[in-house]
Structure 1
Amino acid sequence: MARAKAKKSSVRLRLKRGDTVRVMSGKHRGAEGEVLQVMHDTQRVLVKNVNIIKKAQKPTQENPRGGFKEQEAAVHASNVRIVDPTTGVPTRVRSGLNAEGRKVRISVKSGAVLDE
């Protein structure tokens, strides 16, 4: 049976590739890492060195024995928070305008601008 196509999400994720995030709940609570990929349709993020799984590899001509490969698996975006660059504490993010009138992401706790 074919996999159901994911619906377009109406929730706006305020995460970007390269952000430092901390896992707030779940099996990997407290772990920090860099966002490698944001999947907007499923509301999931791939975080470096968090939620490592082992994936079986079939034997190929290059690797005749096969084996296992470790890789990151996605974490739901609701389980992570962006780490404030000035204080190092996880924070919520809001949108605002900078001096030039450009839309930027702003830390709720410290008021620091996350986008340069």
Structure 2
Amino acid sequence: MAAKIRKGDNVIVITGRHKGRTGEVIEVRPSEARALVRGVNLVKRHTKQTAQQEGGIISKEAPIHLSNLSLLHPTDKKPTRVGFKMVGDKKVRVAKRGGVEIDG
């Protein structure tokens, strides 16, 4: 199945503790149905100092479920669902709000 949310997309959180926050997708984990979004769902990790990195309390993004995310429309920056259509022999993503091609 084609991915509706991909790395580099701008998304908005539609439910949960971080509702309304927006950010760029850093990583998508399809097997877990989760994604990492920059600046959303930050957690603190207490890490021990090593030769490569400094220790202390580090903030980093935790994965958030894909069902809690919605793609931001490219022009009006509102949440939109994603559909697909064929353009020539390529399958492209299309925003359901307005029918604008997202990539392609």
Q: Structure 2-normalised TM-score? A: 0.92
- Which of the numbers 85, 88, 93 marks the counterpart of 2:74? 85
Work out the CA distance in 2 between the residues paired with 1:63 and 1:95: 43
Would you identify which runs of 4 or more consecutive aligned residues in structure 1 move more than 2 Å? 59-64
Q: Could you list the runs of 5+ residues in structure 2 that have no partner in the other structure?
A: none
Give the aligned CA root-mean-square deviation in angstroms.
Answer: 1.6
Work out the CA distance in 1 between the residues paired with 2:63 and 2:19: 14
The residue that corresponds to 1:112 in the other structure is 100
Aligned residue type for 1:83: L
- Which of the numbers 66, 72, 90 marks the counterpart of 2:61? 72
Report the alpha carbon displacement of residue 97 of structure 1 after superposing the two structures with TM. Answer: 1.1
Alignment of 1:27-106 (within 5 A): 27-61=17-51, 66-98=55-87, 100-106=88-94
Work out the CA distance in 1 between the residues paired with 2:2 and 2:85: 15
Report the alpha carbon displacement of residue 101 of structure 1 after superposing the two structures with TM. Answer: 3.0
More strand by share: 2
Q: Contact conserved, 1:87 with 1:110, CA < 8 A, in 2?
A: no
How many residue pairs get aligned? The number is 104
Report the alpha carbon displacement of residue 77 of structure 1 after superposing the two structures with TM. Answer: 0.1
Q: Could you list the runs of 5+ residues in structure 1 that have no partner in the other structure?
A: 1-10
3-state SS, counterpart of residue 36 of structure 1: strand
Report the alpha carbon displacement of residue 102 of structure 1 after superposing the two structures with TM. Answer: 1.0
Report the alpha carbon displacement of residue 60 of structure 1 after superposing the two structures with TM. Answer: 2.5
3-state SS, counterpart of residue 78 of structure 1: helix
